[in-house]
A and B are shown apart, each in its own frame.
Chain A
Amino acid sequence: MSSKQRIEVRVNGTRYVREVEARLTLADFLRHELSLGGTHVGCEHGICGACTVLINDQSARSCLTLAVQADDCDITTVENLRNPETGALHPIQQSFVDAHGLQCGFCTPGFMMTTLELLRENPDPSDEQIKEALGGNLCRCTGYQSIMDSVRLAAQRMKSSTLG
């Protein structure tokens, strides 16, 4: 049961080489082996989206992904959003703060990573497109309205910052 495999991953730009059990989930690997606790786990069966990370720039459920499947991949987690030098929040983070897009904040990393993917692919999404993108993430606190507002605000800010 504990036959281990060697994997090499780049997480938020840092290269890690680790021996892991084949059954170890990527969520557990990130959270408990690499101490990146910002990726949360709400269901471990692929429904809530709290564990969403980007694997090679595509959003993925880290609870349904095994660490060994991420071998040789680039992984981005919520910890990568802040500017590491200045500590300044990413426009998506700042928009969630400003538009009150969170309450307990447990679902928020998942929503923000999903938003990051959305806005990279579609900088000017319609409300319907936002809903489509966020439809796989559960939030038990906010009732989603302020999350919609946050994503709209983030889109607006990111657009104007690339224009400006």
Chain B
Amino acid sequence: MAIEIHTLPEHMPNDALRYVGKPVNRVEDPALVSGTVQFIDNLSLPGMLHCAILRSPHPHARIVSVDVSAALAAEGVVAVISGEDVKRWCVPGFTAPEGWGNYCMAVDKVRFVGEPVAAVAATSRYLAEDALELLHIEYETLTPVCNPEQAMAPDAPVVFEERGTNVMLHRDYTWGEVDRVFAEADHIISRRFRWNRVGANPTETFGCICQWDLADNSLTCHGAYQTPRFMAIGRAASLQLPANRVRIVTHPQGGGFGGKGGPRGTDIAALLSRKSNGRPVKYIEDRMEYLLAGGGQSWDRYYDAALAVKADGTVTGFRVHLVDDQGAGAEGYGTISAAKPLAAFTGNYRIEAASYDLTLVATNRAPTYPYRGYGPPPHNLVLESLMDCTARELGMDPAELRRQNFIRPEQFPYTVPSGNEYDSGNYEAVLDRVLEIADYPALRARQAAARAEGRLVGIGVVGTVEPGVFDWNAYATVGVPGVGVPEGVKVGLDVFGNVSVAVGFSLQGQGQFTVAAQVVADYLGVDMAQVKISTASSDVALPHFGQGGSRLGVAVTGAILGACEKLNAMFCKVVAHVMQAPEESIVLRNGRLYRVDAPEHGMSLAEIAGLMLSRSDLLPPGVEPCPEATYVWTSPNRNAPDDQGRCRSYLTAANATHVALVEIDRDTGRTHILDYCIVDDCGTRLNPANVEGQLQGGVAQGVGAALYEEYVYNDECQPLVSTFVDYLMPTIHEVPMTRKDHIVTPSPVSPLGAKGCGEGAMHTTPATILCAINDALAPLGKEMLETPASPHRLWKLLHEDQATSA
């Protein structure tokens, strides 16, 4: 039976939607504000031990010897593991590109500062940490490679000996006639950019409790897991267990943003449990471990990029050359972050040809991991900064240059040169609205007045496309094959008409439980209070992915609609049988099934569920006594890529334009954000308050990346960041209270017309702020092409002339 997934809220069988599209309170919140949610560190299991991990102080060194005897004899210590155990019991974790992985703990040599070298399980965390001091590791240091230039030099030391090179991957994509458009261009605008490492830093670090059942040879892991099933498969592979013997129980998480880590900590705790005769072992990463080498470092990039531009401002070509420092291994799936820009390579524009030369390099920095946005934030910063450079060179207004190059509303669905198809949009309407709420002419007047006083005030106007609802096909050409990403739910009713929904993921902050409850309540016409959403553990959950790639809100909506459609069909059948009416004459509407020709003859959902569960004698043949349905949704109409990576990958293309007004303090180099406006279009807003929260949260992270946050390494590849005193997270004083509005262009292809919206603000904010900074610097003839544009960096730029003339 083909199931039709509704693409507009008004298609649902309900005349008066009560929840979808409204900023309803979240079902997650009462427990969260009460402090009763079971974050992983709030769970204890009987007999539980605590893990502490000893980490490498060297970026590159051979392990000569490991002596664990004193630690093993220490108070409270039950087990110690080191590289020897790991070598015996494990294989290196999955990576992309393939074959650049580490074991969960260093074997024979260490490749980065913070790499686990040994771990202790003891009766308390305090005692476990005491025992770390009794571990004796002898190292023979090796020369580290600190950056891609060193890594690619002839005779460079190699991070992975078996590979013989530090180049993990080189790919060269060409889309359209790039050489021709550059040859025919009137202007070629090119720049080099440097994006320094930033990362997710959720407020809760990673944690887990692992228990190895030695009799059953199975493993149960409770923890803060973003992608439970994926995690289960990965653990099965690295720990060499059958996949159906690994059970992941995911707990609510204190944020994730892609950079939660997990595999290494889980494997280490699992091995300690195995060595402790099956006692549960808890590992809670601390913030210093997270900052040093958790899953929280992303995007260490060197760009060389150019636009081909005609005399009238038409942009015809975009060339990007990227060298990406992946750090010591590809365990964080770095190819995905390098390849994701393919989904919206040329942004909002009708750029006809493009090319992308990307090189991923291994160094002795910590391995990089996903972070919200997953690649486009730096990419968009490059594209949008070049647009501003073009406007300056041509003497055009940057907003008007963009408008001139926008994809026009009548051109959708629009296939970009890099292959993805944008479903819908109206970029000009978004731009017009944001210029209106920002009062752009007044901002320019304010800027002119400030400039006349010698102040450095600048404006950024930046629009981006947010590819939403990720699909594996986007990454197939860089080593992560597949088409489709299943997301499954089960929807069931009890005899009282309450609705239970089982999903494969847990809370992380985006409010997907609320969205699920809104959709199911409106479809079935019940009160949201009658709906209960719960997380199924990975062994019993339907195929699922969970949070990631601006996908889950849309995907879970699709899955719920699918399951509800199945319930609808089944209930109609039951009611028709009971009423001895033709099936086609029965409809579900406003929470009741009835005969269209005689609406007074009907049944409530509770009556139907009760009948199905307790009167098998009344059921039509072929209908099971089970008022439940499952549905596993994946994006419709996806295809495999060609050799240039072109395919219909991300299902939806949301877009937004941000306007920022900033002032740089000449004396301190500090950038103050004076005003910040956003207009976005993510189609149907299933819960507008959730969307707003995603936008504002993305702005905050964008401000951090643009101005403050940086994982600094010194010349010896030693990280200089290990606390929040060094890694500067934006506080309420740094984040602008933005003014927002939106327009709505429903997606014609997605469930209820909603578009992925979790990453757009992070895609746009760093570029907007950097463009505003460069606009402020323009009268000085200076440019800042490195992030973060920290006070220190800007101060140096402003005062470099004095330094050289002195």
Task: Using CB atoms and an 8 Å cutoff, list the residues of chain A in contact with chain B.
Answer: 1-2, 21, 23-24, 31-32, 36-45, 47-48, 50, 77-79, 81-82, 89, 93, 96-98, 100, 102-109, 112, 131, 134-148
Closest to A21 in B: B126
Q: How far is the CA of A1 from the CA of B180 in the complex (A)?
A: 74
Cross-interface CB contact of A105 among B32, B701, B724, B731, cutoff 8 Å: B32
- Docked-complex contact B29 and A143, CB < 8 angstroms: no
The tally of residues in B whose CB lies under 8 Å from a CB in A reads 61
- Docked-complex contact A104 and B732, CB < 8 angstroms: no
B742 at the interface (CB under 8 A from A): no
- Docked-complex contact A98 and B204, CB < 8 angstroms: no
Chain A residues in 8 Å Cβ range of B690: 100
Best-buried of A43, A44, A107, A109 by chain B (most CB within 10 Å): A43
Closest to B728 in A: A47
- Docked-complex contact B33 and A40, CB < 8 angstroms: no
Q: How far is the CA of A59 from the CA of B508 in the complex (A)?
A: 27
Q: How far is the CA of A41 from the CA of B793 in the complex (A)?
A: 32
Q: How far is the CA of A96 from the CA of B286 in the complex (A)?
A: 27
A and B contact pairs by CB, cutoff 8 A, 27 listed: A1-B130, A24-B126, A37-B38, A38-B36, A42-B204, A42-B254, A45-B287, A45-B288, A45-B725, A47-B725, A79-B35, A89-B34, A96-B29, A97-B25, A104-B203, A104-B507, A105-B32, A105-B252, A135-B733, A138-B729, A139-B700, A140-B201, A140-B203, A140-B701, A141-B509, A141-B693, A148-B737
Task: Using CB atoms and an 8 Å cutoff, list the residues of chain B in contact with chain A.
Answer: 23, 25-26, 28-30, 32-39, 41-42, 44, 75, 126, 130, 200-205, 252-257, 286-288, 507-511, 689-690, 692-693, 695-701, 723-725, 729, 731-733, 735, 737-738
- Given A79-B35, A97-B33, are A143 and B699 neighbors across the interface (CB < 8 Å)? yes
Q: How far is the CA of A101 from the CA of B55 in the complex (A)?
A: 37
- Given A44-B286, A97-B26, are A107 and B693 neighbors across the interface (CB < 8 Å)? no
- Docked-complex contact B29 and A105, CB < 8 angstroms: yes
Q: How far is the CA of A1 from the CA of B126 in the complex (A)?
A: 10
Chain A residues in 8 Å Cβ range of B735: 143-145
Cross-interface CB contact of B723 among A41, A45, A138, cutoff 8 Å: A45
Cross-interface CB contact of B732 among A1, A37, A39, A147, cutoff 8 Å: A147
- Given A42-B254, A145-B737, are A100 and B723 neighbors across the interface (CB < 8 Å)? no
Cross-interface CB contact of B29 among A79, A97, A140, A142, cutoff 8 Å: A97
Q: How far is the CA of A147 from the CA of B507 in the complex (A)?
A: 19
- Given A48-B724, A134-B732, are A140 and B202 neighbors across the interface (CB < 8 Å)? yes
Chain A residues in 8 Å Cβ range of B38: 37
Closest to A131 in B: B732
Closest to B723 in A: A45
- Given A106-B39, A143-B700, A144-B700, are A100 and B692 neighbors across the interface (CB < 8 Å)? yes
Give the distance to chain B from A50, nearest Cβ to Cβ, in Å: 6
Chain B residues in 8 Å Cβ range of A105: 28-29, 32-33, 37, 252, 254, 507, 509
Give the distance to chain A from B619, nearest Cβ to Cβ, in Å: 41
Q: How far is the CA of A79 from the CA of B36 in the complex (A)?
A: 8
Chain A residues in 8 Å Cβ range of B204: 40, 42, 104, 106
- Docked-complex contact A103 and B35, CB < 8 angstroms: no
